[in-house]
A and B are shown apart, each in its own frame.
Chain A
Amino acid sequence: MTWDTIVGLEVHVELATTSKIFCGCPTLFGRPPNTQCCPVCSGFPGALPVLNQQVIEYALRVCLATDCTINSLIRFDRKNYFYPDLPKGYQISQQHQPIGRGGKLVITTDNGDKAIGIHEIHIEEDAGKLIHDPQGKHTLVDYNRCGIPLLEIISRPDLNSAEEALDYLDKLRRLLLFIGVSDCRMEEGSLRADVNVSVRPTGSKVLGTRTELKNMSSMKAMALAIAYESRRQIKILTEGGRIRQETRRWDENEKRSFALRIKENVEDYRYFPDPDLMAIRINDHWIKNTRELLPELPDAKYQRYLTTLDLTAYEASILTSHPALADLFEATVAICGRAKDVAGWIMGEWLQECNQRACRPQDLKVTPEKLARLVRLLAEGDITRGTARQVFIQMIDNQADPDDYVHRHNLRMIRDIKTIDAAIDQAMAAHPRSVADYRAGKNKVRTFLVGQAMRVLQGKADPALLNRRLLEKLNTPD
Chain B
Amino acid sequence: MTQIHELGALELGKKIADREISAPEAVRHALGRMDLLDSTVNALITISGRSAYQQAKAIQKRLDAGEKLPPLAGVPLAVQDNISTKDILTTCASRMLHNYVPPFSATVIDRLVAAGGIVIGKTNLGEFAMDGTNETSHFGPVLNPWSTDHLAGGSGGGCAAAVAAGEVWYALGSDTGGSLRHSCSHCGLTGLKPTYGSVSRYGLVANASSLDQIGPVAESAADCAAVMALIAGPDPKDSTTQPMEFKPEPVNLNGLVIGLPEECFLPDLQPEIGKAVQAAAHQLAVLGARIEPVALSLGEEAVAAYCLIAAAEASANLARFDGIQYGYRPADPKHDDLSDYYCHTRQQGFGAAARRWIMLGTLILSAGYYDRYYLQASKARRLVKENLQKALAQCDLLLTPVAPSTAPRPGAGPDDLYNTCLANIFTVSANLSGFPALVLPCGLDHCNLPIGFQLIGSAFSDSLLLSVGTAYQEATAFHQLRPPHVGEKT
Contact = CB atoms under 8 A, between A and B. Distances in A.
B319 A80 contact: yes
Interface stretch (A104-112, A183-191, A275-283, A285-293): A275-283
Nearest to B204: A46
Contact of A277 (B104, B239, B319): B239
A271 B370 CA distance: 9
A50 B209 contact: no
Residues of A in contact with B, size category: 20 to 34
A44 B366 contact: no
Contacts of B209: 275-276
Given A82-B322, A82-B342, A270 B239 contact: no
B104 A44 contact: yes
A48 B201 contact: yes
Given A84-B324, A87-B320, A46 B202 contact: yes
Most A CB atoms within 10 A — which of B202, B237, B316, B318?
B316
A84 B338 contact: yes
A431 to B, nearest CB: 77
B374 interface: yes
Nearest to A22: B239
A20 interface: no
A51 B239 contact: yes
Nearest to A278: B239
B326 A89 contact: no
Interface in B351-387: 362, 365-367, 370, 374
A43 interface: yes
A344 interface: no
B319 A90 contact: yes
B239 A45 contact: no
A386 interface: no
Nearest to B104: A39
A281 B18 CA distance: 52
Interface in B228-264: 236-240
Nearest to A90: B316
A44 B342 CA distance: 17
B319 A48 contact: no
A275 B201 contact: no
Contacts of A39: 102-104
A275 to B, nearest CB: 4
Given A42-B325, A82-B322, A89-B319, A48 B210 contact: no
Contacts of A45: 84, 90, 92, 97, 100, 102, 205-206, 320-321, 326
B240 A278 contact: yes
A272 B325 contact: no
A141 interface: yes
A84 B341 CA distance: 11
Contacts of A254: none
Nearest to A84: B324
A173 interface: no
B320 A272 contact: no
Contacts of B370: 270-272
A82 B322 CA distance: 8
B79 to A, nearest CB: 12
A39 B209 CA distance: 17
Interface string A81-99: 0111001111000000000
Nearest to A272: B365
A88 B366 contact: no
B175 interface: no
Contact of B205 (A42, A46, A87, A278): A46
Contacts of A133: none
A39 B105 CA distance: 11
A48 B202 contact: yes
B465 interface: no
A47 B210 CA distance: 15
Closest 6 CB pairs of A and B: A89-B319, A270-B365, A275-B210, A275-B209, A45-B205, A46-B203
30 contacts: A39-B102, A39-B104, A43-B320, A44-B104, A45-B97, A45-B326, A46-B83, A46-B90, A46-B106, A46-B203, A47-B104, A48-B239, A49-B239, A50-B239, A51-B239, A83-B338, A84-B324, A84-B338, A89-B320, A89-B321, A90-B319, A141-B324, A268-B367, A270-B366, A271-B370, A272-B374, A276-B206, A276-B209, A277-B239, A278-B239
Given A46-B106, A48-B202, A271-B370, 12 more contacts: A46-B90, A47-B104, A50-B239, A80-B316, A82-B322, A87-B320, A89-B320, A271-B365, A272-B312, A272-B370, A275-B209, A278-B240
